[in-house]
Amino acid sequence: MGNFLELAMRRYSVRNYSDVRVEEEKLNYILECGRVAPSAANNQPWHIIVIRDVEMRRKLAMTYNRDWFIQAPVILVICGDHQSGWKRADGKDHTDIDVSIIIDHITLAAAEQGLGTCWICNFDAILCSQVLALPQHIEPIAYLPVGYPADSTDNNSRHLKRKSLNEIIHYETF
Ligand SMILES: Cc1cc2nc3c(=O)[nH]c(=O)nc-3n(C[C@H](O)[C@H](O)[C@H](O)COP(=O)(O)O)c2cc1C
């Protein structure tokens, strides 16, 4: 097991899944890694819907129509609870930030376990809320397919194409 940087670099957006079952204990492990994530004021404004059922995955595919999406044996729908998200004095709602952290924990824990994931936000959120009968204050923020990668090749040219530290780090002033 390498260091954190190696794990962070190993994670990539998997868009090609095998249908091998994701073991319950591995799924529970990555969810547990998410559960311990920090959140503003420790409000934990998140809910996760675990979808294994083929029919439900097909229904969800109506909101994000990609073949590889329903190949994954598990889809997590990660939701934000805007009623319980912390609001700063100027009104800024921190729910999205908190939800991003739990998702990041899960994607990295999955990579550690040899599982692939892919952040998906480009879905029809209104239709998703209908399909899953979400209450008004619960927003589906991201989908995370979870499964074993069908091959070990990363065919996503964007992976690890990152700005250099020079471009993003500023010392003392912008
Ligand atoms: C907030 C967010 C939303 C994303 N939405 C999608 C998406 O809807 N569909 C998709 O295929 N990838 C999506 N991605 C994956 C990014 O394209 C990917 O993380 C980026 O290109 C870097 O590649 P890598 O994850 O392989 O390192 C999303 C990533 C993030 C962080």
Cβ(162) – ligand 1 distance below 6 Å: no
CA 11 to ligand 1 center in whole angstroms: 12
Query: Number of C-alpha atoms within 13 angstroms, CB side, residue 8?
Result: 6
155 in any annotated domain? no
78 beta partners: 48, 142
139 in any annotated domain? yes
CA 69 to ligand 1 center in whole angstroms: 13
- Tally of structural domains, the chain: 1
174 in any annotated domain? no
37 in any annotated domain? yes
Domain range for 19: 7-146
CATH code for the domain of 100: 3.40.109.10
64 in any annotated domain? yes
113 in any annotated domain? yes
119 in any annotated domain? yes
Dihedral (CA of 160, 157, 112, 24) sign: positive
Bridge pairing between strands 138-147 and 46-51 = unpaired
Whether residue 39 contacts residue 101, with contact meaning beta carbons closer than 8 Å, is answered with: yes
* Six token digits for residue 131: 């399909």
CA 119 to ligand 1 center in whole angstroms: 5
Whole-prediction pTM: 0.96
Cβ(130) – ligand 1 distance below 6 Å: no
Q: Which of 76, 121, 154, 163 to mutate to test the pocket of ligand 1 (most atoms within 8 A of CB)?
A: 121
End-to-end CA distance of the chain: 37
Digitized pLDDT (tens) for each residue of the chain, 174 residues in all: 689 999 999 999 999 999 999 999 999 999 999 999 999 999 999 999 999 999 999 999 999 999 999 999 999 999 999 999 999 999 999 999 999 999 999 999 999 999 999 999 999 999 999 999 999 999 999 999 999 999 866 666 677 799 999 999 999 999
62 in any annotated domain? yes
Cβ(156) – ligand 1 distance below 6 Å: yes
